[in-house]
Amino acid sequence: MKPFEIAGLPPDELNSFLAGTHSDPFRILGPHRMKDGLLIRAFRPDAQKIDIVLDRQSKEAIAAEKIHRDGFFCASVPAATRDLDYRLRLTNWNGSESLMRDPYGYGPLIGEVDLHLFAEGQHWQIYEKFGAHLRTIGDTTGVHFVVWAPNAQRVSVVGDFNGWDGRVNPMRKLIGGGVWEVFLPGLQEGAHYKFEIRTHSGALLLKSDPFAFFNQHGKSTSSLVYNLERYVWSDQAWMDSRRKRDWPKSAISIYEVHLGSWRRRADEGNRHLSYLEFVGTLLPYVVEMGYTHIELMPIAEHPFEGSWGYQVTNYYAPTSRFGTPDELRHFIDKCHQAGIGVIMDWVPAHFPKDAHALAEFDGTDLYEHMDPRQGEHQDWGTLIFNFGRNEVRNFLIGNALFWLDKYHIDGLRVDAVASMLYLDYSRQAGQWIPNVYGGRENLDAIFFLKRFNEVCYERFPGIITIAEESTAWPGVSRPTYLGGLGFGFKWNMGWMHDFLQYMSLDPIYRRFHHGNITFSLIYAFQEHFILVLSHDEVVHGKRSLIAKMPGDEWQQFANLRMFYAWMYGQPGKKLLFMGGEFGQRHEWNHDQSLDWHLTELPRHDELRRLVQHLNYTYKREPALWEQDDSHDGFEWIDFHDADNSVVSFFRKSAAGEMIVFVVNATPMVRHDYRLGVPAPGFYREIINTDAETYGGSNVGNYGGAQSEDRQWMGREHSILIHLPPLATVAFKLESL
């Protein structure tokens, strides 16, 4: 030992370590070769005494000398035992003893290939390496922690296992990639932990694990060690069939759900239901109603209830509000066994500024842009990911793959895509920075979205990705090799806006706004569209769907029934937000259950039964979905009758099956309305929203109408029908 050294260390190094500023803990702690053997150093403030146990089978041990009162110990081991597989025996202040491996006796565990792939942004199974993983090394089990914090001076794992003291378990920095790791032997599942990060300015940050599989929500924000390898899936039949599905040519009817407010237990303090309870409540309801998919509003962990899940703090952790990760997987598993697909909202556009999460993660703008003109959403008070950084793209694409892999998610609906595509989104002149070509397109985000779609479809055939994109950006749902963004589907926000505006008008004025209901057919086949009536349309003073409808109560329900059947007739897949199916009166409130008592009232239950009938009819008839993306599947019969606010069209399957739709958007009954039809035969009435069973006035067509050889509306054949008030009727051609 050199002069002025303490336990083989210069005093300034020891003091730096004790002050928590040393950046290389493996230089300080663990075994170190000396001329006369090994020098083993350990730091345990909770230990009164530490012995180095040389042989597990005997009680031979060497007492370590306590060098510093804070708990720094050092022991010299003879040269003959310099390669010894030793353990530390800790005697705590209460006299209890524990035997453990030395965390600082292990070499690096994450490989160079992993670091290289992460640095270039292409480690697609990054979730298998980063975060907290239960591992067995030799004969010892423990937890391997890995985190990316390239600009930190020091990173430590802190938790309930080390008194939240950042000096006890500092991590090794792997040179080059800015990645830190440590293996803590003996640590078990359920341990609460965070990363304590010391910045170069001397600030101490306490951060949740960006790759945590389980995390607390609300005011408590610790990450929890969780084993994701335990669950055994029982949905192989669904997964096998999913790979073969051609979703653009399949029936898709989605029930959009906010789990926290779908149903609550008022008798138990208005509590949420759990993932396990949804298996016995939500799932049977969705099956009964005839939907094909459930879309879950964001279920990744988020502290703020009022964000509805769109301000995510832990991208790899399902929210603990409703239970454990395995309980969520059990719910998804049961959905698949029941033939229901599960889509989840995914939020790569922005993240919140919560101090425990991603914002300024290592004291610098790591995940976000430094310049607020690029890195901050002023409308939402959130931060924008730096899509130009390889590691950030890898974090996000890896997260998408994680949900598809570990949770068997069937689809990802990407939130706020428009905000990602445009640098000037919701910004005034001078508040944004043009791209390298002087344009407003966010080239980094475009590259990210294309790569995200390519990798997801390549690695998980049969899944779908959906863009919430509200502009006329071309090719959103076209393949990237054709210049598109590569999404499977796009929400049709234009259809939703135009039709809701039309439906809110008093019928006497609708004839002046006839273009609202025809314009969407101009672009209906340019994308793979989903027609949506989403949560965004029933909040913030926009009123519920039933409350948007004009007229007295009977007319409101008649209008909404007409609208729903019209929607099912239009080209495009379908989505309806929860509560809309039974005419929820109040705007959606995320803190309260839906008003399920309304289903005990006739008109609300009759509306629900109509939606159920529409779903079953829709799934049964290929004409309504098989050619959604082609002009071959839709043809106008007459869209000129603006004075009567009547439109008619027909849908056609690839095999030539035809269904004719006629909409009467006024409260006038139109008897003996002659309609040109595409072919001769009997047209059986399969939908009539004015039927008595749905709460209507029961004006109908006695089961259907036989065509006549009489030219009308430019067609060789026609039928004579009765159009009910404020109603949609549909007829299927039975024979030619």
Predicted confidence band at 77 (pLDDT cuts at 50, 70, 90)? confident
Q: With 70 as the cut, is the pLDDT of residue 55 above it? A: yes
Instruction: Yes or no: say if 487 and 479 are a contact pair by the CB < 8 Å rule.
Output: no
> 2 by DSSP, 3-state: which?
coil
At residue 709, the pLDDT reads 95
Residue boundaries of the structural domains of the chain? 11-102, 112-224, 632-733
Q: What is the DSSP letter of 273?
A: P
Annotated catalytic residue 196: no
- What percent of the chain shows pLDDT beyond 70? 98
User: CA–CA distance from 390 to each of 116, 177, 442, 574 (Å)?
Assistant: 11, 11, 16, 36
Lowest mean pLDDT among 4-18, 221-235, 260-274: 4-18
Name the burial class of residue 282, with classes exposed (0-12), middle (13-18) and buried (19+) by CB atoms within 10 angstroms of its CB: buried
> What is the fold, at CATH topology level, of the domain defined by 11-102?
Immunoglobulin-like (2.60.40)
Q: What is the dihedral of CA 432, 435, 441, 443, to 10 degrees?
A: -130
Tell me: the pLDDT tens digits for 639-685? 999 999 999 999 999 999 999 999 999 999 999 999 999 999 999 99
Per the DSSP assignment, residues forming a β-bridge with 173 are 180
At residue 313, the pLDDT reads 97
At residue 223, the pLDDT reads 98
Q: What are the backbone angles phi and psi of residue 168, rounded to the nearest 5°?
A: -80, -45
Residue with tokens 């009954």: 669
Instruction: Yes or no: say if 685 and 691 are a contact pair by the CB < 8 Å rule.
Output: no
Tell me: the pLDDT tens digits for 171-217? 999 987 899 999 999 999 999 999 999 999 999 999 999 999 999 99
> 37 by DSSP, 3-state: which?
strand
Tell me: the pLDDT tens digits for 262-298? 999 988 999 999 999 999 999 999 999 999 999 999 9
d(CA 157, CA 183): 10
At residue 38, the pLDDT reads 86
Tell me: the pLDDT tens digits for 710-721? 999 999 999 999
397 Cβ contact list (under 8 Å, min separation 6):
121, 124, 448, 451, 452, 455, 456
CA-based nearest residue to 335, from 297, 287, 300: 287
CA-based nearest residue to 358, from 381, 379, 382, 378: 382
Q: With 70 as the cut, is the pLDDT of residue 509 above it? A: yes
d(CA 108, CA 122): 21
At residue 290, the pLDDT reads 98
Name the burial class of residue 346, with classes exposed (0-12), middle (13-18) and buried (19+) by CB atoms within 10 angstroms of its CB: buried
Tell me if 11-102 shares its fold with 632-733.
Answer: yes
Tell me: the pLDDT tens digits for 469-497? 999 999 999 999 999 999 999 999 999 99
Q: With 80 as the cut, is the pLDDT of residue 15 above it? A: yes
439 Cβ contact list (under 8 Å, min separation 6):
none
* Average confidence score pLDDT of the chain: 95
Q: What are the backbone angles phi and psi of residue 527, rounded to the nearest 5°?
A: -135, 165
d(CA 697, CA 689): 9
Predicted confidence band at 37 (pLDDT cuts at 50, 70, 90)? confident
- Which two tokens mark 158? 């802190």
Q: With 80 as the cut, is the pLDDT of residue 5 above it? A: no
Q: With 80 as the cut, is the pLDDT of residue 331 above it? A: yes
696 Cβ contact list (under 8 Å, min separation 6):
558, 561, 688, 689, 690, 724, 727
Which of the four CATH numbers 3.40.50.1220, 1.20.1090.10, 2.60.40.1180, 3.30.1490.70 does domain 632-733 have?
A: 2.60.40.1180
Helix, strand, coil percentages for the chain (3-state, nearest 5)? 30, 30, 45
Q: With 80 as the cut, is the pLDDT of residue 316 above it? A: yes
At residue 562, the pLDDT reads 98
Q: What is the DSSP letter of 667?
A: S
Instruction: Yes or no: say if 617 and 289 are a contact pair by the CB < 8 Å rule.
Output: no
Q: With 60 as the cut, is the pLDDT of residue 4 above it? A: no
At residue 585, the pLDDT reads 96
Tell me the helices (H) and strands (E) count for the chain, helix number first: 17, 38
Tell me: the pLDDT tens digits for 119-137? 999 999 999 999 999 999 9
Superfamily of domain 112-224: Immunoglobulins (2.60.40.10)
Residue of 256, 368, 415, 444 with catalytic role: 415
Residue of 333, 360, 468, 606 with catalytic role: 468
Predicted confidence band at 58 (pLDDT cuts at 50, 70, 90)? low
Q: What is the DSSP letter of 243?
A: T
> What is the bridge-based pairing of β-strands 634-638 and 264-265?
unpaired
Residue with tokens 């067609």: 715
Annotated catalytic residue 468: yes
Lowest mean pLDDT among 363-367, 386-390, 428-432, 660-664: 428-432
Tell me: the pLDDT tens digits for 609-624? 999 999 999 999 999 9
At residue 659, the pLDDT reads 98
At residue 56, the pLDDT reads 65
Predicted confidence band at 33 (pLDDT cuts at 50, 70, 90)? confident
- Which two tokens mark 204? 């101490």
Predicted confidence band at 379 (pLDDT cuts at 50, 70, 90)? confident
d(CA 683, CA 623): 14
Q: Can you give the pTM of this predicted structure?
A: 0.96
- Which two tokens mark 309? 């899940």
